[in-house]
Chain A
Amino acid sequence: MTRFLIIVVLVALLGMGAYFYLNRTDTAEGTAPPIAGAPSSADVLARGEYLTKAADCIACHTVPGTGSAFAGGVAFKLPFGTIYSPNITADEASGIGNWSDNDFVRAVREGIRNDGQHLYPAFPYTSYTQLSRSDVLAIKAYLFSLPKISQANKANDLSFPYNQRWAMGFWNAAFFKSQRFTPDPSQSQQWNSGKYLTIALGHCAECHTPRNFGFGLEHGNELAGEELQGWRAYNITSDPQHGIGAWSDSDIASYLTTGHADGRGSAAGPMAEAVENSLRFLNPADAAALATYLRTVPAREGKDPITIDATAAPTLASNNAAPGGDNANADNPGLKLFEGACASCHQWNGKGQQTSYASLLGTRGVNDVHGTNVTQILLHGAGPHALAPNIFMPEFGNAYSDTDIASLTNYVIGHFGNKQGNVTPDEVAQRRKQL
């Protein structure tokens, strides 16, 4: 009996040891590589504003259209319930006005609130942990310079056991490592700046890196693409076939800062938000640095790789005003829908008539046989956004049935991607509920 108790105590001690060892905090202040848009010589508020934009804080902490910047309340619908982002204005009662510098730095880099409770990793402290203390405090200074907004936080709606914040300590032990950014001296300064922008500030991995069974990032599969909240975040590794390895520097820069690259695609959904709220404000040198880093991300195929056919035969056989080689499709309901509602802007040859944003040939959306993002854009529309205020795609979710959307998506995949799409009405019904 005594021996048994000793074993129990030993196992418990080992477990506690492992828990605390895995949850240890990197005590380093951290140094950031040079960021062109936020030089260390600049005023702290100017740096903070740029870094806040580069970190895209506003996207999650501001309900679109309310004008209540950083007052929180944005809903995140996850498989285990709904989380609402908190108020991060300097309001003392409902925001973070009473937080000390150390409180703020700990929340951003370790995921622990000022009351000691764990934050959920919907907040990307998993990426922000790499930030330097001086950058985090510049962001705090900027947030505290903005108007205080009194808006109470909404309570999360999570089921047991996900509503137990302490349990995130175990999640952190398994999937989170507190770690400051360390420059790689064998790489250029530009590359290091790009890496900091990509993995720390831009937290690109949070959407673009596949997640494991426990919703932790698969670091060995960095940026190979993932589906979340009903949208597909594409593979952005250097893989020339499935990633962005074949994109030119100007393609990448144009996509990041305008949301469109000719012959590559146009951002919609969450990526359009990232461009609108964050990436378009990047200094050109920073956008170039980001692209420099992305180019060196090892090529990976990722899950359900998309193979682009940039010379899809049915598209090339068509002219701007009429389909060619689609005789077999003449009675296809997808074709009928396309000719009535889509062709006048997108054109049968996929070039896009009113705007290059409407071009379809060569884009990943129409080459994805699951049609994930195409169905989302059909259902929910796209744009207009600040950069192209008059360019938008109408939403068809209220006009078309699930069967209509499925057959239209499959037709689009066939005509512009030269592949057999496999979207079913049931999948459309699922995606209808998202976003």
Chain B
Amino acid sequence: MLSLSVNGQAYPVDVPDDMPLLWVLRDVIGLTGTKFGCGIAQCGACTVHLDGQAVRSCVLPVGSIGNRAITTIEAVGNTPSGQKIQQAWLDVDVVQCGYCQSGQIMSAAALLQRTPNPNDADIDAAMSGNICRCGTYVRIRAAIKQAATGKQEILQTLVSAPEGAKS
């Protein structure tokens, strides 16, 4: 019986050591915000944090985690960098279909955590392993910069009705 620390909570799980963390998160614990994409660490959809570092959970044997803290998309909003990233994602309206976005947000939050003011090269290095079939890369880059600086990078989403409009 393993004990995993997920989002600050301890989960005893009875699974084989070689089961990938993604399976444990989704099928055993029931946290389905983290997505399965390719299964071979090539698309980034399954990204979670292990002690704040972005890892691909689809190829991470659960037995190798030990007592390191796992953070998933469900709780990344509780970290300062995750909170900023999620707000910027909303303000810029990054998401199109959304399937890859849990992973995108986890990679971006880990980047902002270690590099508070990333330049384009930093963003390329951190985000290249996260693939988006809808091609939201331009908005992802803008949202990361906006989360870092607080300055608006591109057109923002309308979050409230314009003055005079009927509600």
In the complex, which of the residues A321, A355, A394 contacts B54, with contact meaning CB atoms closer than 8 Å? A321
Stretch from B39-47, B145-153, B159-167 at the A interface: B39-47
Q: In the complex the two chains form, is B59's CB within 8 Å of A340's CB? A: no
In the bound assembly, the distance between CA atoms of A101 and B68 in angstroms comes to 58
Question: What are the residues of chain B within 8 A of A345 when measuring CB–CB?
Answer: 41, 56, 59
Q: In the complex the two chains form, is A322's CB within 8 Å of B61's CB? A: no
Q: In the complex the two chains form, is A390's CB within 8 Å of B20's CB? A: yes
CB-based nearest B residue for A354: B60
Is B26 positioned at the interface, with any CB of A under 8 Å from its CB? no
C-beta contact mask, B28-70 vs A, less than 8 Å → 1, else 0? 0000000000001110100000000111100111001000000
Number of interface residues of A (CB under 8 A): 24
In the bound assembly, the distance between CA atoms of A321 and B122 in angstroms comes to 9
Stretch from B5-13, B83-91, B109-117 at the A interface: B109-117
Is B155 positioned at the interface, with any CB of A under 8 Å from its CB? no
Given A321-B114, A354-B59, A389-B18, A344 and B125 touching (CB < 8 A)? no
Question: What are the residues of chain B within 8 A of A343 when measuring CB–CB?
Answer: 125, 128-129
Q: In the complex the two chains form, is B122's CB within 8 Å of A390's CB? A: no
Q: In the complex the two chains form, is B42's CB within 8 Å of A341's CB? A: yes
Q: In the complex the two chains form, is A321's CB within 8 Å of B126's CB? A: yes
Q: In the complex the two chains form, is A339's CB within 8 Å of B18's CB? A: no
Q: In the complex the two chains form, is B53's CB within 8 Å of A320's CB? A: yes
In chain A, positions 337-352 with a C-beta closer than 8 Å to chain B are 339-341, 343-345, 348
Is B138 positioned at the interface, with any CB of A under 8 Å from its CB? no
Number of interface residues of B (CB under 8 A): 26
In the complex, which of the residues B56, B61, B64, B115 contacts A344, with contact meaning CB atoms closer than 8 Å? B56
Is A330 positioned at the interface, with any CB of B under 8 Å from its CB? yes
Is B124 positioned at the interface, with any CB of A under 8 Å from its CB? yes
In the bound assembly, the distance between CA atoms of A353 and B121 in angstroms comes to 21
Is A336 positioned at the interface, with any CB of B under 8 Å from its CB? yes
In the bound assembly, the distance between CA atoms of A322 and B111 in angstroms comes to 10
Given A322-B115, A344-B56, A354-B55, A390 and B124 touching (CB < 8 A)? no
CB-based nearest A residue for B19: A390
Question: What are the residues of chain A within 8 A of B18 when measuring CB–CB?
Answer: 388-390
Most buried by A among B64, B111, B114, B128: B128
Most buried by B among A339, A348, A354: A354
CB-based nearest B residue for A330: B121
CB-based nearest B residue for A342: B129
Q: In the complex the two chains form, is A354's CB within 8 Å of B53's CB? A: no
In the complex, which of the residues A320, A321, A348 contacts B111, with contact meaning CB atoms closer than 8 Å? A321
In the bound assembly, the distance between CA atoms of A389 and B61 in angstroms comes to 9
Question: What are the residues of chain B within 8 A of A243 when measuring CB–CB?
Answer: none
CB-based nearest A residue for B39: A394
Question: What are the residues of chain A within 8 A of B110 when measuring CB–CB?
Answer: 321
Given A353-B53, A354-B60, A394 and B40 touching (CB < 8 A)? yes
In the bound assembly, the distance between CA atoms of A166 and B21 in angstroms comes to 58
Q: In the complex the two chains form, is B40's CB within 8 Å of A339's CB? A: no
Majority secondary structure, B binding face: mixed
Question: What are the residues of chain A within 8 A of B40 when measuring CB–CB?
Answer: 392, 394
CB-based nearest A residue for B107: A344
Question: What are the residues of chain B within 8 A of A322 when measuring CB–CB?
Answer: 115, 122, 125-126
Is A365 positioned at the interface, with any CB of B under 8 Å from its CB? no
In the bound assembly, the distance between CA atoms of A336 and B129 in angstroms comes to 10
Is A391 positioned at the interface, with any CB of B under 8 Å from its CB? yes
Question: What are the residues of chain A within 8 A of B64 when measuring CB–CB?
Answer: 354-355
Most buried by B among A327, A344, A390: A344
In the bound assembly, the distance between CA atoms of A355 and B21 in angstroms comes to 13
Question: What are the residues of chain A within 8 A of B20 when measuring CB–CB?
Answer: 390
CB-based nearest A residue for B57: A354
Question: What are the residues of chain B within 8 A of A339 when measuring CB–CB?
Answer: 124-125, 128-129
Q: In the complex the two chains form, is B125's CB within 8 Å of A390's CB? A: no
In the bound assembly, the distance between CA atoms of A113 and B120 in angstroms comes to 67
Chain A nearest CB: distance from B102 CB in Å?
Answer: 15
Chain B nearest CB: distance from A16 CB in Å?
Answer: 61
Is A323 positioned at the interface, with any CB of B under 8 Å from its CB? yes
Question: What are the residues of chain B within 8 A of A394 when measuring CB–CB?
Answer: 40-42
Given A321-B114, A336-B128, A343-B125, A391 and B41 touching (CB < 8 A)? no
Q: In the complex the two chains form, is B125's CB within 8 Å of A321's CB? A: yes
Question: What are the residues of chain A within 8 A of B121 when measuring CB–CB?
Answer: 327, 330
Given A344-B54, A354-B64, A394-B42, A323 and B125 touching (CB < 8 A)? yes
Chain B nearest CB: distance from A415 CB in Å?
Answer: 12
Given A320-B53, A321-B114, A330-B121, A340 and B128 touching (CB < 8 A)? yes
Question: What are the residues of chain A within 8 A of B61 when measuring CB–CB?
Answer: 354-355, 390-391
Task: For the A-B complex with A321-B111, A322-B122, A344-B56 known, give 16 more contacts whose Cβ atoms are closer than 8 Å.
Answer: A320-B53, A321-B54, A321-B114, A322-B125, A330-B121, A339-B124, A339-B125, A344-B44, A345-B41, A354-B55, A355-B61, A389-B18, A390-B18, A390-B59, A390-B61, A394-B41
Q: B residues bordering A, Cβ < 8 Å?
A: 18-20, 40-42, 44, 53-56, 59-61, 64, 110-111, 114-115, 121-122, 124-126, 128-129
Q: A residues bordering B, Cβ < 8 Å?
A: 319-323, 327, 330, 336, 339-341, 343-345, 348, 353-355, 388-392, 394
21 sampled A-B residue pairs with Cβ under 8 A: A319-B114, A320-B53, A321-B54, A321-B126, A322-B115, A322-B122, A339-B124, A339-B129, A340-B129, A343-B128, A343-B129, A344-B41, A344-B54, A344-B55, A344-B56, A345-B56, A348-B125, A354-B56, A354-B60, A390-B61, A392-B59
